[in-house]
A and B are shown apart, each in its own frame.
Chain A
Amino acid sequence: MSGVTTAISLARARLRHRPARGLLVALAVTLVVGVEVASAGVSRMAGDEALRAGLADVPAGYRSIVVSASGFLSEPAALARRGDLVRQILRPVSAAPPRALTLFQPLADAAGATFSLAGVDDLPTAVTVLTGRLPAPCTPTRCEVVQVGPEAAPRLDPSLGVVVVGTAIMRDRSVLSGSYQPTDHAPVLIGDGSRGMDSLASLPTFGRSNGWVAAVNDAALTITGVGPELARLAALRSALALADRGLYLTAPDEQLAIAAARSDTAARRLLLVGAGAVALAAAFALLAAIGLARDHQAAARLLSRRGAGRAAIAAFHLAEAMPSVVLGATGGLLLGAVAVDRIARHESLGAGYPSQAIGDALATVLITGSLVLGVIVLVLARLATERVPGKLPLALVGVGLAAVTFLAARRGAVAPSRLAATDDPLLAFLPTLAATTAALLAAIAGPPILTLVERALGQRALVVRLALLAVVRRPLRLTGVAGFVAAAGALALFAVTYAATLHDGARDEAGFRVPFDATIAEGPALILPLEVSSLAGYGHLTPGLTAYGVVRQSANVRSAGHQAVPVALLGVPAGALAAMDSFRPDFATRSRSELARLVAWHDGRYRGPVLPAGTTRISLDLAGEFRRFEASVDLRDGAGVVRVLALDATAGVSVPPTSPGTVLAGITFRVPDHDVARRLHQAGEGVAPAAGREGTFRILALRANGSVVPGLGVPWVVVSGGSLVRSGPGVAVHWVVVAEAVRVRPAQPTDHGIPVIADPATAAAAGADGSVALTVGAGSVLRGIVVGTADRVPGLPSRFVVADVAALSPALDADEPVTGAVREVWLRGPAERALAGPRFAALEITYRRRLVATLAGDPLGRAAVALVAVAGGLAVLLALIAIILGLLGDARDERAELYALETDGLPPRTIRRLLVVRSVMSVAIAAPVGTLAGLLVVRSTAQLIAVTAQATVPEPPLLVAIAWWQPLLAVAGSVVVASVVAVACALPLLRGRLPRRPEGGLG
């Protein structure tokens, strides 16, 4: 025991004598522990935020605790008793007192229109009155209500005793939603008080539901609170069932569990940062121990010679390292808590996170502290015995670890799906594994390489040779530096990649949703973009703005033996496709410009009789059996806008003056609705139609303002309902009554098919000639020729077909007028200011920049990026400390040798250079290995990085943002930074007027 005490006293004296190195170690531990605590804090915040975000996505009605009463209790006392029971049981879990409600079965008013009638307790807090006033409490004969929902007021029978006194909207969305959802699109009349509504004398036995609704206090819910909350809900359910078998509780258990799982995933991802920090700490401890070893070794040997036992020597090792570690860990806990507090305040996340973070990180901090302590003590103890492991065991361990790391990386277990699996140890061990492997590989591979370099140098470059030899013959420090650089490199690379990937991911995701700078679509007022301005008008809003008209339809594609599969059909200008910067190279094997070239359609002119400009009346000369049809013509102007006009078969139709280039796009002959109904009726009764099953009519002439329009002689096609008769004047059509309409139009170049790009699955459905049949709208079939494939295209789901809008629009309009209309506009350029005017307010406009800001500005994502950035910064900082420690350690431990060199005539500057070169040499060997290890970690966690901040898999998938040159830059950067730091660190050395004798004394 006295030996132990003496050893501890000596250690204390040593720390007092030279505190700088101990403080450096403490500083490193402080930083590492600080990151761990911050990581735990941000993890918790991320989890809580993901939980809240998940719950926010759930409709309010399904986020509530609802107690339903089965059976019908008109007895007020019984209802009151149940109400009291429910309130008592729900009190612990609800943010506010449960609200009782009564919802009658749907009722019909005097006009036969449906409405709902409900009574809600504490109505003033449940609704906001828009007009009129709040209702007075109900009496059995009169119940005042407010109307919520459609404006049309139900025509109430006065005998009902219900009086509407105002209109309102729901303020508490948990009321009358979910389990108590009234009939859609019908007005809801709500009276104040469930009990009062129940007592309405006019509806004594009418069916109703009674229940109590309490909102879950999701604002206060945290990731760790979900489990207890679920348990509490289960207990409530049992308690309620025991207390009253007529009561049944529904709660958002499943929603909570789903949100909790997602938040857990979001939180656990940051475990990697903590694990990286642990690896960093271990590697740093190794370096620190190597730095401390020489002097410590002498003291330990002396103690041993003086008879100190193993316990005393162990106590000495411990006492040397313990104060630094304890001091550092304490400082780290404080630092981390402060950081977490600052983040929580900045994100307005409330108090309590610092203490929770400390609690969460305590185990990791203990592991880190023990690891650092263990590594330092083990290295000190090992070096004190002067037993260094042989090369063969070292090589075997290195090869083994490399194999394990490789296999770990290969198995790809670190995937988002595995994140929630708390028993996956790979995540926690991967950085340490990689760092250890790198350290051992550097120790094995470094010396032979450096020996070769040294031999190649021959007698030249004395300083470099000396440095090389020192590194070669004392590989322990090289091992430490490599391990450290590996851990730091892994963490820094992970941090950089993570931040870059999330940043790029936000950009890509926004770009995928808004292919250019803005997307304009039909708004809630059902106004189309081109009704506000022409395409050219959009383009002229501001200089530099380009507008692309886009056609979007849904279609079905059928391949042999397969069910029809819906696909999105997009028509976009080929030029827009080529200019689409959000189209990432990985979306297709071909470049977007090549795809644009393949799909481009250069013959955009719609074939057909051209009407003279200014035409105001159109008529047709028809002959034959046409009178049973209602005719309409569709005109297509030069801009591609199609108008469909009903045509009196004899009198024609008046039209607004036509613009130049307007063509007759087609004529539709439709069987009137009453004829269809009669035919169906006859068919139902098995009676054959008396007449008119088929016939022929002939279009003899098209007249504009009474004059015959030339051009009827172009080729025509019958799209549906019949076939073309080749003989005789004009356009003759033989029709059959199987179809309800006969459509005839000029033949178009698109009839032979239009070039399209499709996703691989859709492309696989194409025939041998590459054509794919797309069923659009009411059944018309469009022939697409697949000229290229892409895995994904911005703005589209996974199954799609893309064509040049110049081909798609006329092709769609040809068979079904207006289906090829431009309903969406994409803007490229400075769109925000141009669209700021009120005229565009009715449109739905989405800006890519704002979307990027929203996605990238997600507080969770930002906190995570900040954390990994801090961790990466810490890695770099510790790397600098390690370089400084190493260089100062060399200068101190080898002062006798350096003194001898100066005695031999090497000037101090050359000796400083020697120290610098030696430091840089270690980093130069260690950096590639360390960077490789870092890449290994990044590669094996690529799937982990490639999820959004909320741990969902995004569309498009995130690409791990690491270019081939970045690792090279990292290596070069490491060497440069190491050189700068080493030079700065060496500058003050050997600056005295005379060299100091290493052995001291007076001489």
Chain B
Amino acid sequence: MIGPAISVDDVFCLYRGAQGDVAALRGLDLVVEPGERVVVHGPSGSGKTTLLRVLEGTTAPSAGRATVAGFDVRTLARRRDVRARVLGLVDQHHGRVLRPELDCVTNVALQLAISGASRRERRARAESLLDAAGVGHLADVPPVALSGGEAQRVALCAALAHGPQVVLADEPTGELDQVTAEQVYDVLDTLARDAGATLLIVSHDEGAARIADRVVRIRDGRLSEVWEPGEPERVVVDRRGWLRLPAPARDATGITSSAKVAVVGRRLVLAPFADATPEEAAVAEAPAGRDLPTGAVARLTAVGVAYGGRVVLAGLDLSVARGRLTVVRGRSGSGKTTIVRLLAGLARADHGVVEVDGVGLDALGRAARARFRRRTLGIAGQTAGLAEALDAGENLELALTIRGQRDSERVETLLVGLGLAPLAGRPVRLLSGGERQRVAVGRALVARPTLVILDEPTSQLDEGNAERLASLLRAEVAAGATILCTTHDRALAASADVVIEL
């Protein structure tokens, strides 16, 4: 390959929306050399996914130029064969890339089949990749029978089977626990190296850096920081001189809306104006001096759950303390989501007792459980299931309406607390994954239920938003809420009153 593997030159990208255009990329510059591994971080809505779409050739830049493996992205948009040959695409949701109608080996071999490889050749290649990814024994199994980690590894094999020059990975471990995520990164690293491919990973997960040569951060559609793993972050100054001040620097210096600039020797000095005031915290503070309630809101006693002979939980005792933020941690497949589902009445224990707010859920039928949830629980799953016809604000209102409540102030407060206020009127189908996830959390919190259950609420959030969410949850707990949360997020775990390791 002559020249950079990826070149993004002053790219702008606008989306047309009902409420006006949205600028997802605003003059982004990025160069990735052949064989280089670059991880892209950035808050939700910062333009990460748009960058990937531009590089894939599925979204045309509004201005600027981008090339991948020497091909202009507009060429890639036209020439699917070229795009497929040079690119390997890894998706956050394995369900999008693995067809349930085909077994794993056929899924992996799909692209080879399209490119004309013989049946024997493509099967051999697929089996070899699956072996390399540690899932060779699952070759003839349909994807629906796999765990999240297994399925994602098969999806990696499918993305790399044809030996692409550039691999673009979008949150490849977004739904996985840390241990599983590390395994997936290792597989990705191995497979990409074997193929001699350049790797661009978009992820919130700081763990992605372990396989990166370079890490960049995008904010507001521009490259804002760049660093090598283990090295300090460097603020990027673009060709027009724009730079973005990191939030800690602004907070520390009190620079908010404007600053004085001075050049001292070869140094640039920024100083705040005297009239600038620190921005008000968006998240409500916890009421001070409150007496925390005691006792358990929910309890699992000697609970056992097995799926098809695979024991997920065995004799588990767990209680969720009232007025606390309880975090459940554990590797992928350890039963975190099963606990959430048991407490939410969305799964049944094979044995043991599941009790929430003094009610034994085992005795309740499906409709009674739904009514119980309406009275008692607020739940946000890992995949944000939202009312797609509604906007963000309406989704929160819907959660209130279902419970027979109306509280516009509460909705507004939560939208601000979740950083969604500017997006309140935007249909949720136009939101990014992280934004949708925050809406889902808002729906769980808005009706002030007895118990809030959140399953991996920060899995698609960047660090800043994860911190914002953690603050919000703390504030809610301080206001009397009881929250049970499964997470891999260390920051969130650090905010917890109680951490349960599985």
Contact = CB atoms under 8 A, between A and B. Distances in A.
B89, B146, B389, B399 — most chain A CB neighbours (10 Å) = B389
A900 B385 contact: yes
A471 to B, nearest CB: 9
B114 A999 contact: no
Contacts of A312: 114
A988 B387 CA distance: 23
B386 A307 contact: no
A473 B428 CA distance: 12
B260 interface: no
Given A2-B113, A302-B96, A995 B346 contact: yes
A80 interface: no
A51 to B, nearest CB: 55
B443 A306 contact: no
Nearest to A909: B367
B381 interface: yes
A3, A18, A312 — most chain B CB neighbours (10 Å) = A3
Contacts of B347: 994, 1003
A298 interface: yes
A839 interface: no
Contact of B389 (A469, A896, A992): A469
Interface string B78-94: 00110111000100010
A306 B117 CA distance: 13
Nearest to A474: B389
A902 B370 contact: yes
A911 B65 CA distance: 48
Contacts of A9: 113
Given A307-B85, A459-B406, A906 B114 contact: no
A997 B338 CA distance: 12
B111 A307 contact: yes
A301 B310 CA distance: 34
Interface in B340-364: 340-341, 344, 346-348
A904 interface: yes
Interface in A1-35: 1-3, 5-7, 9-10, 13-14, 16-18
Contact of B387 (A3, A18, A307, A901): A901
B97 A908 contact: no
Contacts of B210: none
A665 to B, nearest CB: 91
Nearest to A895: B385
Contacts of B95: 999-1000
Interface in A263-321: 298-299, 301-310, 312
Contacts of A901: 385, 387, 402
Contact of A904 (B116, B367, B402): B402
Contact of B101 (A16, A902, A908, A990): A16
A899 B367 contact: no
Contact of A308 (B80, B100, B340, B440): B80
Contacts of A14: 99, 101
A21 to B, nearest CB: 13
A898 to B, nearest CB: 8
A306 B111 contact: yes
B385 A1002 contact: no
Nearest to A303: B114
Interface string B393-415: 00000110111001000000000
Contacts of A466: 387, 389, 398
* Range, interface on chain A: 35 or more
Nearest to A898: B385
B483 interface: no
Contacts of A906: 370, 374, 402
Nearest to A307: B84
Interface in A466-497: 466, 469-470, 472-474
Contact of B383 (A301, A303, A999): A999
B114 A908 contact: no
B105 to A, nearest CB: 13
Interface in B6-63: 56
Interface in A959-1003: 990, 992-995, 997-1003
Contacts of B162: 307
B373 interface: yes
B135 to A, nearest CB: 15
A1003 B366 contact: no
B115 A302 contact: no
A904 B443 contact: yes
A905 interface: yes
Nearest to B402: A904
Interface residues of B, number: 71
Nearest to A470: B389
A907 interface: yes
Given A309-B80, A905-B373, A1000-B95, A992 B366 contact: yes
A675 interface: no
Interface string A446-468: 00000000000001001000100
A469 B387 CA distance: 10
Nearest to B390: A469
Contact of A1002 (B307, B340, B377, B388): B307
Contacts of B401: 459, 462
A903 B346 contact: yes
A184 interface: no
A447 to B, nearest CB: 11
Contacts of A347: none
Interface in A408-449: none
A302 B99 contact: yes
A502 to B, nearest CB: 47
A900 B402 CA distance: 12
Nearest to B147: A1002
A2 B115 contact: yes
Contacts of B370: 902, 905-908
A122 interface: no
B331 interface: no
A473 B402 contact: no
Contacts of B333: 1002
Nearest to A995: B346
A308 B79 CA distance: 10
Contacts of A306: 84, 110-111, 114
B108 to A, nearest CB: 11
Contacts of A304: 80
A294 B97 CA distance: 15
B237 interface: no
A307 B102 contact: no
A20 B390 CA distance: 31
A894 interface: yes
A109 interface: no
A140 B340 CA distance: 121
A611 B437 CA distance: 114
A894 B388 contact: yes
Contact of A900 (B113, B115, B381): B381
A648 interface: no
Contact of A10 (B81, B101, B144, B387): B101
Nearest to B400: A459
A307 B89 CA distance: 11
Contacts of A307: 80-81, 83-85, 111, 114-115, 162
A897 interface: yes
9 contacts: A298-B96, A309-B80, A459-B401, A462-B402, A900-B385, A903-B381, A904-B398, A992-B366, A998-B385
By Cβ-Cβ distance, the 8 closest A-B pairs, closest first, are A307-B84, A905-B374, A900-B385, A1003-B337, A2-B116, A17-B101, A306-B111, A907-B370
Given A5-B113, A307-B83, 6 more contacts: A13-B99, A18-B101, A473-B427, A896-B383, A903-B381, A997-B341
Interface of B: 56, 80-81, 83-85, 89, 93, 95-97, 99-102, 110-111, 113-117, 144, 146-148, 151, 162, 307, 310, 312, 333, 335-338, 340-341, 344, 346-348, 365-367, 370-375, 377, 379, 381, 383-390, 398-399, 401-403, 406, 427, 440, 443
